[in-house]
Each structure stands twice: as structure tokens, then as C-alpha cells.
Amino acid sequence: MNKFTLFVLALIFAIASSGQNFSPVDGSSSVKFKIKNLGISVSGDFKGISGKINFDPNNPDASKFDVSVDAATVNTGIDMRDDHLKGEEYFDVKNYPKISFVSTKITQGPKSGNFIAVGNLTIKKVTKEISIPFKASSQGTDYVFEGEFKINRRDFEVGGGSLTMSDNLTVNLSVLARKE
């Protein structure tokens, strides 16, 4: 084989093994959170998920997530509370309209179909590295990514010094990603 043929074969292999591109489907995805306030569990969610996902379950190292949600869509079912959460002390949506996650590393998890995404979560002006364990399930040419993680709201300067609200909250994700 000549050098040109080897180059073409290497290029084809590199393209084939680089993963597939997906876009999150907002109406079929959910980003939910749960936190205690005065000892009572408060649930809410965000909409407006967008971004790009490159995912290859056989080569997670080559995968990448770059996604965000619209912070102004925060919804707990109580309009007055939602308006308060959009304010400066909480999500400050006027100055920081997006909450974003950009992965820096994806690794295989302990079971088949399970992975761990390590990356940078940005809320308001604060960026912190977090790990998100998730399950990837293929649905035809699409994928559903489901995961759960915990964060400390104070790490992201959310909620000020509230003594009635728990510092830690749980985030549950279910993202339908459509092949581009």
C-alpha cells in the first residue's frame, strides 16, 4: 500500500471513531432539582436546555458535553418564589442568563452503559469542577442521558446566607439527545 492509501484509511478511521454529534431536545428533556427549605423538600426544574453533545460509548475519552439551561425558566410551581429565585441573591438571571456545563473528561462507569462526566459547572459568575455519573441508553439513532449529582449552593453564591435553606441540593437530569 502506498502512503496516500494509508493516509486515507487513517483519516476514515479517525472520522468513524470520533463519536456522533447530538443536540439536546428541550421539550423531551428535564433538569430537576430538590432542596430543603425550613425542613420541607422543595422541587423545581429548568427548561431551555441547549448545546452540543459528541458521544461515543465505545470511546468515552473522545466524547464531549457542552450544554446549558435558561436560568430564567426556574420553576417551583409558586410564581412568587420563582420570581425571588430569579433575583440577584439567587440566580441573578438578568446578569447570568445561562447555567452551563462543559465536560473536560468522560470515562466508563462501573457498569455497562454507565459513564462519569467530569467538567465545569457555571452558575452565575462561579465555575466549579463537578462529576456527574450518568447512564446512556440508545433509542434508535438518539440517546437518553440520565444522571444525578449533588452540589452545594453556597459554592456558587446562590441563596446568600439563608439559614433556613439547606446548603446541598440534588439535581436529576434526563436528556434526550437527537442525532444531528
The pLDDT, as a whole number, for residue 160 is: 87
Q: How far is CA 131 from CA 27, 85, 105, 109, 120, in A?
A: 25, 25, 9, 12, 9
Closest CA to 18 of 61, 50, 52, 51: 61
State the Cα–Cα distance between residues 21 and 111, nearest whole angstrom: 24
The pLDDT, as a whole number, for residue 180 is: 94
Q: Encode 91-104 in three state secondary structure.
A: CCCCCCCEEEEEEE
The pLDDT, as a whole number, for residue 163 is: 86
The pLDDT, as a whole number, for residue 59 is: 96
| pLDDT tens, per residue, the chain with 180 residues | 555 444 443 434 444 445 899 999 999 999 999 999 999 999 999 999 999 999 999 999 999 999 999 999 999 999 999 999 999 999 999 999 999 999 999 999 999 999 999 999 999 999 999 999 999 999 999 999 999 999 999 999 999 888 899 999 999 999 999 999
DSSP 8-state secondary structure symbol assigned to residue 27:
G
Partners of 60 in the beta sheet?
none
Coil, helix or strand for 130? strand
Which CATH number is correct for 19-179, 2.40.128.110, 3.40.1010.10, 3.30.1330.40, 1.10.287.1080? Answer: 2.40.128.110
